[in-house]
Chain A
């Protein structure tokens, strides 16, 4: 990597928007069944982008409401708080990742992969007996595990497209192609961004280490992210842009006490739930 490219990457990470506080709050509030409605609506109220996105859906043709809904309070009265809560959750989760074109990445498929990994990651956490209070962290870690790709594709589009082509033509893992082209991969860049966002250290480590073949120590978030990422790829839920599906590291297998096939079988009853994440991509 040239000094110049490193500087570009650091600058790119700096340019990324701040992690929206409202998103964090909504993810946390929606995991509490006893959360008072006004608390959640209040968060939405104070985030104009979120408010607008939700109103856009509420006013869309399939509700066919007789009049335009112009405020979140009105929306809650018209279609019910619970429906608003579920819409807010979807819109908030999607809001973290940018839409639009990014060099070589099919963003719709990329977002689908991110959301599927997020949902599976949270499920794995629950299966390992993890607490509901922490479930949100697992969702966020899954959602953001590949965020480094977005930074690279957005700010170094030419080099990144070459890395993607290299990965496909030589049939090597994308992060290895990134390392060959940039001296750094999306795991490193993602971890830099996560650090900038002051996310908890176990999430930063999970993002930074999700392609390591040999893991040291135990980090439940990382183990869940790696398993969820692999499962999402095997189940062809979206597309991360990486043609290679690496085997599950031995440490992750022993953490779950199951191999990859057993994990996929265990997920089968949740297939519909995972399909449903796609709906937010169309909103």
Chain B
């Protein structure tokens, strides 16, 4: 199995001198299974350069899993070049939106309305399939791979996806903030909320348990976090906690805060590791970087 990062930035693409090393594209992760099936996690701007690498080997069948439909996770989709070439197949998976009561097809195809994009959805040449997922629904890819999901904690429904193939595994959070109690200790509701929170966190940790590769939204430092609580993103410290609890082998921090320069990114990463000294059984903690590949 192989993972390659094509976009590691949160919120908005930030090309330029200060992000040359880690990259400025928004979230997109390529996963190749042992059978070379193609799974793409999120369709941020990173999907554009990824799609160029696919042109030499068409027809191509891609299984795209959208964690959630905020812009930075879908904005590259219309620029996934194989979509315009007959014979290619694109299977797009994602959650139902309970607020507008729309399935993933309507949410995504709105992106292709004429005021946003020159090519309408019916005019795309590739074969498109939409699969609206329920929580814990398992999707089989090829012979040996399954993708399952769990709702994470974000202002819009957000799936975390787990990929399993021949005993190897990867989990990607999409955007996720560690649950926090909205009540103060002593207030009515505090204990009730705490019970639900802990149960939900345990359910998530069990779902991720012993994963080989864990990719987590790690947008903020603990100093930045208080001003951004409730925005739906994690910190280095909350990601380290989850990685340890779940017994992950490698933990990639991603969804880097858009104003973070390469130098600052390494600085806050080193500070976080210093604050959380190594423990036996720790995952290997790594910064996700555009172009970085890992095979296992």
- Assuming the contacts A77-B193, A77-B200, asked whether A87 and B182 have C-beta atoms less than 8 A apart, the reply is no
Could you tell me which residues of chain B, from 157 to 190, have a CB within 8 Å of some CB in chain A?
157-158, 179, 182-183, 187, 189
Could you tell me which residues of chain B, from 121 to 163, have a CB within 8 Å of some CB in chain A?
132-137, 151, 153-158
Q: How many residue pairs at the A-B interface have CB separations less than 8 Å?
A: 86
CB neighbours of B137 from chain A (8 A): 64
Q: Decide if B21 is an interface residue (CB 8 Å cutoff).
A: no
Q: Number of contacting residues on A, CB 8 A?
A: 34
Among candidates B134, B154, B156, B183, residue contacting A62 with C-beta atoms closer than 8 Å? B134
The prevalent SS among residues of A at the interface is: helix
Q: Decide if A255 is an interface residue (CB 8 Å cutoff).
A: no
Among candidates A36, A62, A66, A86, residue contacting B182 with C-beta atoms closer than 8 Å? A36
Q: Decide if B1 is an interface residue (CB 8 Å cutoff).
A: no
Q: Decide if A38 is an interface residue (CB 8 Å cutoff).
A: yes
- Assuming the contacts A64-B137, A80-B155, A81-B230, asked whether A73 and B193 have C-beta atoms less than 8 A apart, the reply is yes
- How far apart are A38's CB and chain B's nearest CB, in angstroms? 5
The answer to whether B154 touches A80, judged by C-beta atoms less than 8 angstroms apart, is yes
- How far apart are A84's CB and chain B's nearest CB, in angstroms? 10
CB neighbours of B99 from chain A (8 A): 83, 86-87, 90, 276, 279
The answer to whether B98 touches A83, judged by C-beta atoms less than 8 angstroms apart, is yes
A36, A79, A80 — most chain B CB neighbours (10 Å): A80
Q: What is the chain A residue whose CB lies nearest that of B191?
A: A73
CB neighbours of B197 from chain A (8 A): 77
The answer to whether A80 touches B136, judged by C-beta atoms less than 8 angstroms apart, is no
Q: What is the chain A residue whose CB lies nearest that of B137?
A: A64
- How far apart are A167's CB and chain B's nearest CB, in angstroms? 33
CB neighbours of B232 from chain A (8 A): 80, 82
Q: Decide if A74 is an interface residue (CB 8 Å cutoff).
A: yes
The answer to whether B96 touches A80, judged by C-beta atoms less than 8 angstroms apart, is no
- Assuming the contacts A73-B193, A74-B196, A77-B193, asked whether A57 and B98 have C-beta atoms less than 8 A apart, the reply is yes
The answer to whether A37 touches B101, judged by C-beta atoms less than 8 angstroms apart, is no
Pairs A–B under 8 Å by Cβ, sample size 13: A63-B135, A64-B134, A76-B182, A77-B179, A80-B154, A80-B156, A81-B182, A90-B99, A272-B110, A276-B99, A276-B100, A279-B102, A282-B101
